[in-house]
Amino acid sequence: MMSETDISAAEIHKGDLPVLCLSESEIAALLDPEELITGLEQGFVAMSQGKVQSPDRPEINVPAKGFSLAMPAWMPGMNISVKVVNVFEGNLNLGLPNHLATITLYDPDTGKLLCVMDGTYITAIRTAASAIVSVKALAKDDSRIATIIGAGVQGREHLKLLPLVREFEEIRIVSLRYTDAEKLASQHPLATPVEDTEQAVRSSDVICLCSHSYKPVIQANWVQSGAHVSSVGYAPPAGELPVEIARDNALFVENLDAFSPPPVGCGELADLEPGKSTEMGDVLSGACKGRVSDRQITVYKAMGLAMEDMVAANIAYERALRRRTGCTVKL
């Protein structure tokens, strides 16, 4: 029963609400890689325990140009996150990244918009960080040689993060263009550019596939016993990871949606049996085993989860509030 003092819905106007805006450079300064890795570990566990809401991502396809994906997620204790990521390969010829993204955060108590932030850097670092979580959890403790295949954005971010989880003696960089491998390798004292992909892979403890290739970039018989392979590339209908590597070894995924057809899942896993894989959250919580021997080959195939964007965006937002970073606009 409404009292005389109650205000009707018709009398209420939203007005101009303050919204925080964060640029790419501000996001890069706010995100601490080690905090992000820890946050993603917790996010994977929450995902496997059914605590994260993340509906299938819809896709808009622009023929001969690119595609756009919407990726919402929420879990208790965080703000609602919605990312729109646009993948347009021709952008590189225009001096733009081929992945462009924006993330919005919403108050879970009221639904009001809290923040609009760059999602391009977040997409890059959270993708690499999820693979690094797999290295931390699954690679042999004495892993000393890593090979990164791909000298683009993901190669760059993997090179930054790999030394945080293992004491590597050498990180090899392979690229379609050797000059790109040289440029990336010059950014880190442990990095070495390599021309022969097979030779690099055969003696590596960790192999990180970071390409945008529509076909496999390595062969299964190049991978030595005990190695860990991670793959973050998304290029349907197939992709960079040989199907037999995922099929014949211990396979780990973010969640079982990875076996759905693209754009929800990974093209490389489309014909494989989900029941033979293990979710990373179950490994991190101790519910399932990870690596079981020093001779076992472990494989992590990522598709990119909205949960990962949510974790990274919430970390950046909370830090921005504490540091009073960014600008506020009224919407």
Q: All domains of the chain, ordered by start, with CATH?
A: 16-122+307-330 (3.30.1780.10), 139-303 (3.40.50.720)
User: pLDDT, tens digit, for every residue of 113-153?
Assistant: 999 999 999 999 999 999 999 999 999 999 999 999 999 99
Whether residue 90 is predicted with pLDDT greater than 50 in this model: the reply is yes
Task: Indicate the pLDDT class of residue 2, thresholds 50, 70 and 90.
Answer: very low
CA dihedral sign, ordered 200, 205, 209, 210:
negative
Whether residue 1 is predicted with pLDDT greater than 50 in this model: the reply is no
DSSP secondary structure string for all residues of 131-179:
HHHHHHHHS-TT--EEEEE--SHHHHHHHHHGGGTS--SEEEEE-SSHH
Task: Indicate the pLDDT class of residue 264, thresholds 50, 70 and 90.
Answer: confident
pLDDT at 235: 85
pLDDT at 64: 93
CB 231 within 8 Å of CB 206: no
CB 326 within 8 Å of CB 26: yes
pLDDT at 4: 56
When pLDDT is averaged across residues 211-229 and rounded to a whole number, the result is 96
Tokens describing residue 282: 């179950």
Which carries the bigger pLDDT value, residue 270 or residue 323?
Answer: 323
Average pLDDT, the chain: 95
User: pLDDT, tens digit, for every residue of 15-74?
Assistant: 889 999 999 999 999 999 999 999 999 999 999 999 999 998 899 999 999 999 999 999
Share of the chain above pLDDT 90, in %: 87
Specify the DSSP class assigned to residue 6: P
User: pLDDT, tens digit, for every residue of 145-176?
Assistant: 999 999 999 999 999 999 999 999 999 999 99
- Closest C-alpha to 269, from 257, 281, 258: 258
Whether residue 3 is predicted with pLDDT greater than 70 in this model: the reply is no
- Closest C-alpha to 69, from 119, 131, 130: 119
Burial class of residue 286 (count of CB atoms within 10 Å of its CB; 0-12, 13-18, 19+): exposed
pLDDT at 71: 96
Distances (CA, A) of 73 to 20, 140, 257: 19, 32, 14
Task: Indicate the pLDDT class of residue 237, thresholds 50, 70 and 90.
Answer: confident
Whether residue 82 is predicted with pLDDT greater than 50 in this model: the reply is yes
